[in-house]
């Protein structure tokens, strides 16, 4: 009877080593595949948007990213999530070039959501703002005009007479989500106005102050002149003189859809509520959206005896000319016309 051959310690050692080597190769293979999935750039080469709803789980987000072609595998996203942790931010994300999963994940943790920038310059009115929003692709000009007229309740405590949000849409650069509603947009601008008003301690006579500030804003862009322009308007009001300010007349024409870019002598005779040649006192409301400096000037006009000025915007010398009497004003106007001729104007 033959004896069973016993395995030597050497053969057992070789078997264990082979198993260990196989496991090691398997681990390396899995790690390599994982690293390839995580670190190899992948994704769209054209603009692709992915909107992550608030409260979305990592599983749902990974699935959305894979379906949109932003990541090669949702499991790679789960792996990065497991390794790095972090809070995933909701919002709309824009992807337009291949990127590794770890970089995609980092963007979502940072909350690097896609927004559209819109700048509202000082002195812009509701028509200007509507045009800028339309150009930015956030809706139509008409939609904005209709929405801001509906949202007067946002400023009812400040200006119960307000028939629109004109004057209360604070000049600033805003960043809105691509799908932001007009209600959200108008509320954001009013919120900025309230912050500015709080900083200035503007609590009383808000309607009159903002209306005056809007006139100042449209008459001069020179900071040092704002309190002087405000003083002219204040002095004329005190003497019950009509303000005779062209920007207000123009605004009345804009409201009627009759403004065509050039003011004519006949326009000064058009009987609109904003014609400050025909009607004494302030116009019915703001004609634009003033910035901080014009609001401050309207709250604290300079103390002068000026009753007239030639606006800086009309003067080739780039400064306003202030006068206390009609005779002085006539000389200032003559000087302005002479400078205009020298500058090549009419």
Per-residue pLDDT tens digits for 165-187 = 999 999 999 999 999 999 999 99
Largest alpha-carbon pair distance within the chain? 141
| pLDDT at res. 344 | 60
Are 101 and 194 members of one domain? no
Task: Give percent of the chain with pLDDT exceeding 90.
Answer: 75
Comparing 71-80, 118-127, 131-140, 329-338, the range with the smallest average pLDDT is 329-338
Q: Give the pLDDT band (50/70/90) at residue 27.
A: low
Q: What is the model's pLDDT at position 320?
A: 87
What CATH number should be reported for the domain holding residue 57?
3.30.1490.480
21 in any annotated domain = no
Is pLDDT larger for residue 87 or for residue 336? 87
**pLDDT the model gives residue 43:** 77
| 34: pLDDT strictly greater than 90 | no
Share of the chain above pLDDT 70, in %: 85
What's residue 101's pLDDT? Answer: 94
pLDDT at residue number 165: 98
Asked whether residue 145 is domain-assigned, the answer is yes
Could you tell me if residue 283 is inside a domain? Answer: yes
| Lowest mean pLDDT, pick from 6-10, 138-142, 317-321, 340-344 | 6-10
Residues 222, 337 within the same domain: yes
Is the model's pLDDT at 48 over the cut of 90?
yes
CATH number at 194 reads 3.30.1490
* φ, ψ of residue 93 in degrees (nearest 5): -115, 145
Q: Indicate if 232 and 284 belong to the same structural domain.
A: yes
**pLDDT at residue 85, rounded to an integer:** 84
Once rounded to an integer, what is the mean pLDDT over residues 216-235? 96
Does the structure show a pLDDT above 60 at 209? yes
User: Which domain-ending residue is among 200, 231, 251?
Assistant: 200
Q: pLDDT value at position 283?
A: 98
Which of residues 174, 200, 226 is at a domain's end? 200
Domain co-membership, 227 together with 279: yes
CB contact burial 119-156 (16+ within 10 A = b; e otherwise): ebbbbbbbbbbbebbeeeebbebebbbebbeebbebbe
Output phi, psi for 344, to 5 deg.
95, 10
In a domain, 231, yes or no: yes
Quick one: tokens of 116?
Answer: 């559209």
What pLDDT is recorded for position 32? 54
Asked if 294 and 177 sit in the same domain, the reply is: no
- At 281, phi and psi to the nearest 5? 85, 180
Give the model's confidence band at 15: pLDDT under 50 very low, under 70 low, under 90 confident, else very high: low
pLDDT > 80? residue 252: yes
Structural domain contains residue 15: no
- Total domains in the chain come to 3
Q: Which long-range contacts (CB under 8 A, 24 or more apart) does 198-206 make?
A: 199/292, 200/292, 200/295, 200/296, 200/299, 202/295, 202/299, 206/158, 206/159
Average per-residue pLDDT for the chain? 89
Residue 136's domain comprises: 115-200
Residue 12 maps to a domain: no
Q: d(Cα 133, Cα 120) in Å, to the nearest integer?
A: 9
- In this prediction, residues 105-131 reach a mean pLDDT of 97
């Amino acid at each position: 009877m033959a004896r069973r051959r016993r395995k030597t310690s050497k053969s057992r050692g070789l078997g264990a080593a082979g198993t260990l080597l196989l496991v090691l190769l398997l681990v390396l293979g899995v790690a390599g595949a994982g690293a390839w999935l995580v670190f190899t750039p992948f994704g769209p080469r054209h603009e692709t948007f992915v909107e992550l709803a608030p409260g979305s789980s990592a599983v749902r987000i990974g699935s959305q990213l894979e379906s949109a072609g932003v990541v090669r595998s949702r499991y790679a996203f789960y792996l990065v999530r497991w390794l790095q942790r972090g809070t995933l931010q909701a919002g709309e994300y824009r992807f337009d070039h291949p990127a590794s999963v770890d970089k995609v994940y980092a963007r979502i943790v940072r909350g690097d959501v896609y927004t559209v920038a819109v700048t509202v310059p000082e002195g812009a009115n509701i028509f200007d703002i509507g045009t800028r929003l339309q150009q930015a692709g956030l809706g139509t000009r008409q939609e904005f005009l209709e929405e801001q007229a509906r949202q007067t309740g946002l400023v009812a405590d400040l200006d119960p007479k307000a028939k629109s949000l004109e004057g209360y849409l604070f000049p600033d650069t805003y960043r809105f989500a691509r799908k932001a509603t007009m209600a959200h947009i108008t509320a954001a601008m009013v919120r900025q106005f309230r912050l500015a008003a709080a900083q200035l301690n503007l609590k009383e006579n808000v309607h009159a102050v903002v209306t005056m500030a809007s006139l100042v804003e449209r008459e001069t862009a020179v900071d040092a002149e704002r309190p002087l322009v405000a003083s002219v308007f204040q002095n004329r009001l005190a003497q019950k003189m009509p303000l005779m300010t062209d920007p207000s007349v123009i605004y009345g024409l804009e409201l009627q859809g009759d403004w065509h870019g050039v003011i004519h002598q006949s326009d000064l005779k058009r009987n609109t509520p904003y014609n400050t040649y025909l009607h004494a006192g302030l116009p019915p409301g703001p004609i634009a959206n003033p910035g901080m400096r014009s609001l401050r000037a309207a709250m604290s006009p300079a103390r002068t005896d000026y009753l007239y000025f030639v606006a800086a915007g009309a003067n080739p010398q780039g400064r306003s000319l202030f006068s206390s009497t009609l005779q002085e004003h006539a000389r200032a106007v003559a000087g302005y016309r002479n400078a205009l001729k020298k500058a090549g104007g009419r």
